[in-house]
């Protein structure tokens, strides 16, 4: 897979909730090769503070216009939020493996579960999934109504959307895992879950889907330095499926992920 380092003019950088922004720029190089679940390694400033790039998922693709959706949590994302249209963005990508979303006919009930900013890569996935299947369900979880992300954007795509909020201000009162529990009953082997969000949410999903034996992929977040598998900074433990080999297995989230089969992750270690 070819990786590009491009400097592109920002088209828009718009605040979409109290602390989240959507940014777009045009890049034919990235658009031609990007797969849902892949990410970009973004230089947030022209100076060297912060020195390291920040990993942000590809959120949307419209023609050659690439979109990212990010939450301001620290120095890097704060600098990103200050960028205005016309400024240039230094981006490396597309990076990582992406979701395996080419569903066989026997697996035609994709359910996408996004907690908080975890919804970011799932929009691009829905853009692709609705082209191949008519039963896409999106479950969006947020703490409160004003932090629900992308609801109107998802409604414009050909998918079913459901919402949960921790405080009950919109949708069902509870977590997005409570919503998933409702969707997975009655048990149906056609389901395939795609999830992104906080580790605590992913751990609960792991417990749920292993009980129902539902095939699932999760997108993981680790702090990253190089973003290309060279520094080992994002290593996670992987289950050793081969009983003959006693050695512990490891993978890099940036190179082998960020998307993993839920069954291969050693959840106790995260």
Ligand X SMILES: Cc1cc2nc3c(=O)[nH]c(=O)nc-3n(C[C@H](O)[C@H](O)[C@H](O)COP(=O)(O)OP(=O)(O)OC[C@H]3O[C@@H](n4cnc5c(N)ncnc54)[C@H](O)[C@@H]3O)c2cc1C
Binding residues vs ligand FES (CB under 6 A): 224-227, 229-234, 252, 254
**Least Å distance between CB 120 and ligand X?**
3
Short-list 198, 204, 239, CA closest to 220? 198
SS3 82: coil
From 11-19, 74-82, 165-173, 186-194, give the range in contact with ligand X by CB under 6 A: 74-82
Q: Pick the binder of ligand X from 94, 140, 258, 259 (CB under 6 A).
A: 258
**Least Å distance between CB 101 and ligand FES?**
23
Number of residues that bind ligand X (CB under 6 A): 21
Cα separation of 103 and 44, whole Å?
A: 36
Q: Where are the beta strands (DSSP E) in the chain?
A: 4-15, 20-26, 39-43, 54-57, 60-62, 65-71, 88-95, 109-115, 137-142, 160-165, 172-173, 191-196, 215-219, 235-238, 249-252, 259-261
Taking CB under 6 A as the rule, does residue 117 contact ligand X?
Answer: yes
Phi-psi region of 215 (alpha: psi -120 to 50; beta: other; left: phi over 0): beta
- Cβ proximity to ligand FES, 98 vs 227, nearer residue: 227
CA atoms within 13 A on the CB side of 49: 0
Residue 73 interacts with, from ligand FES, ligand X, none (CB under 5-8 Å by kind): ligand X
**Least Å distance between CB 35 and ligand FES?**
18
Binding mask 191-230 for ligand X (x = CB under 6 A): ------------------------------xxxx------
- Where along the sequence are the contacts to ligand X (CB under 6 A)? 39, 50, 54-57, 69-71, 73-77, 117, 120, 221-224, 258
């Amino acid at each position: 897979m070819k990786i590009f380092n491009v400097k592109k003019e920002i088209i828009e950088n718009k605040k979409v909730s109290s602390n989240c922004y959507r940014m777009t720029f045009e890049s034919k190089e990235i658009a031609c090769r990007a797969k849902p679940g892949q990410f970009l390694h973004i230089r947030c400033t022209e100076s060297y503070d912060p020195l390291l790039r920040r990993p942000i998922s590809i959120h949307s693709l419209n023609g050659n216009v690439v979109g990212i959706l990010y939450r301001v949590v620290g120095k890097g994302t704060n600098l990103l939020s200050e960028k205005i249209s016309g400024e240039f963005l230094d981006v490396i990508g597309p990076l990582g493996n992406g979701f395996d979303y080419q569903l066989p006919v026997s697996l035609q009930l994709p359910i996408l579960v996004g907690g908080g900013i975890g919804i970011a890569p799932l929009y691009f996935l829905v853009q692709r999934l609705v082209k191949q299947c008519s039963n896409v369900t999106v479950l969006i979880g947020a703490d409160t109504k004003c932090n629900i992300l992308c609801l109107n954007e998802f409604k414009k795509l050909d998918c079913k959307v459901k919402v949960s909020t921790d405080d009950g201000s919109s949708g069902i009162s509870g977590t997005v895992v409570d919503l998933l529990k409702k969707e997975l009953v009655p048990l149906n082997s056609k389901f395939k879950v795609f999830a992104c969000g906080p580790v605590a949410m992913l751990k609960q999903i792991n417990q749920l889907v292993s009980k129902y034996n539902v095939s699932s992929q999760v997108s993981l977040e680790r702090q990253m330095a190089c973003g290309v598998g060279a520094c080992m900074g994002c290593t996670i433990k992987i289950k050793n499926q081969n009983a003959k080999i006693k050695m512990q297995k490891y993978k890099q989230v940036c190179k082998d992920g960020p998307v993993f089969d839920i069954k291969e992750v050693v959840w106790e270690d995260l």
